Amino acid sequence: MSIYLDNAATTPVCPQAAKAAYEAMTEGYGNPSSGYAIGQAAAAKVKEYRAVVAGRLGCLPEELTFTSCGTEGDNWAIRAAVEHGKRSGKHIITTAIEHSAVLEPIRALAAQGYEVTYLKPDKSGHVSIDDLKAALRPDTVLVSMMLVNNELGTLLPVAESAQAIKAAHCPALLHCDAVQAFLKVPFTPKELGVDLLTISGHKIRAPKGIGAQYIRKGLDLKPLLLGGGQENGLRSGTEPTAQLAALAAACEDWDTSAPARIAAVKAHALEVLSSVPGLEVVSPGDAPHICAISLPGYPSEMLVRDLSDRGIYVSSGSACHKGKPSHVFAALGLPKRTLMGVLRISFSPDSTCEEAGALAGALTEITQTRIAMR
C-alpha cells in the first residue's frame, strides 16, 4: 500500500470529479457554441460550473475565466498587467520565492527592459510588508505575490500589499498566485484586494488541465487567445466541458472542515517526525497542508528514492523544477548540509496520522542504515 504525501505537487482525482468528467464526455458532449439542443445544454452546464467555482472562490461568475492551469493563468496575468500599465511605468515587484510560473515570465520582461524588485524572505520564509512598502514607486505597474508558498507553506502578506498599494496611490495592479491557497486557507479576492488571482484544479482533486483566473470586475485586460470569442472574448477556444465538470464537482466535494482535518494530521506528523535523529523542521507552514523538513547530510534525492522504495512519496521541492535545485529553499540562506537534505511534505483530506507515523519510521530507518555526508 502506497502513502502519498506530495499533495502540493498534485492530488488524486476524487471519484465525484471523475464521474462528472465521464458523464460530460459521454452524455453532455455537445459543443457549447453550437445552436442546437445538446450544444445549448452544454452551454447551460458551463454556466452552472462557473457559478459553482465562483461560489467557492467568493467572486462573481463573470469575474472568472477558465484556463488550462496555474502556469497559464500566472503568465497571462503578468503579461496582461504590464500591458495594462505600459503608460505608467516599467517597474515590477515580486518575491524571490514565487513559483517559476511567475518568476520566468517576469525574467522575460526584465530582458525586455523592465526593472524588477525581488522581495527576499526571512529565514522562516516570510516576506516583510515593510519591504514591499519601501519598494513601491510611482512607476510600479505590477505586484505579483503568492498567498501560500508551494514549498514552505508560509502565508505572504497579500491583503496588506493591496492596502499599501492603495495608500501609496500607486498605479500597480496586484496579482496573486493562489494555487496552493484555494480551499485550504480562507480568503476571497475582494478580501485580499487583488486585481488578478490564479487557481488550478489539480491541487484540489480535479484533473490536470483545468484552472481559473479571477479578473476584478471593471478591469479591462487584453485577451489571452483570439478566435471564436469564448470566455467573454478573453480566452477563445472550445470549452473543455469534461474538465469544467470535474473542477466544479471537486469544488463541491471539498468539505469546509477539510483544512482543519489536514492541519491536525500535519501537526501529528511534525510531532512524530521530531523523534527522527537529526531531523530539522525548516518550515512548519502556516497553511494547513504543507511543511518542510530536513535531514542534514542526507541528499534529498536519495531520501526521495529510498522513501519511494518503501512506498512513501514525498518531494525535494516543487515538482515543477524538473530536478533543478529549489530557489525557494536557497532563498532562506540555510546551511549547506541542511539545504542538502530538504524534503517537502504535503497532505490532503485523505492523509492519516498512521501515514505520518510510517513516514517518521521510514526516515528513522534510513538514518540507521545510511551514513550522513559531512
353 is catalytic: no
The answer to whether 84 and 61 are in contact (CB under 8 A) is: no
| Chain centroid to CA 266 | 18
Cα maximum dimension of the chain = 70
Element housing 294 (H / E): strand 290-294
Burial class (CB in 10 A: 0-12, 13-18, 19+), 48: middle
Cα distance between residue 367 and residue 365, in whole Å: 5
Dihedral sign of CA atoms 151, 153, 158, 160 in order: negative
Q: What secondary structure, in 3-state letters, does 207-240 show? A: CCCCEEEEECCCCCCCCCECCCCCHHHCECCCCC
Amino acid at 196: L
Concatenating the DSSP letter of every residue in 112-156 gives TT-EEEEEPP-TTS---HHHHHHH--TTEEEEE--SB-TTT--B-
Closest Cα to residue 198, out of 178, 182, 223? 178
Crossing angle between the packed helical segments 353-369 and 300-309, to the nearest 10 degrees = 120
Cα distance between residue 286 and residue 319, in whole Å: 20
Q: CA angle at residue 363 from 362 to 368, to 5 degrees? A: 95
Burial class (CB in 10 A: 0-12, 13-18, 19+), 263: middle
Point out the catalytic residue in the list 14, 69, 291, 320.
Answer: 320
The answer to whether 210 and 69 are in contact (CB under 8 A) is: yes
User: How many other CB atoms are there within 10 angstroms of residue 333's CB atom?
Assistant: 11
**Catalytic positions, written as ranges:** 320
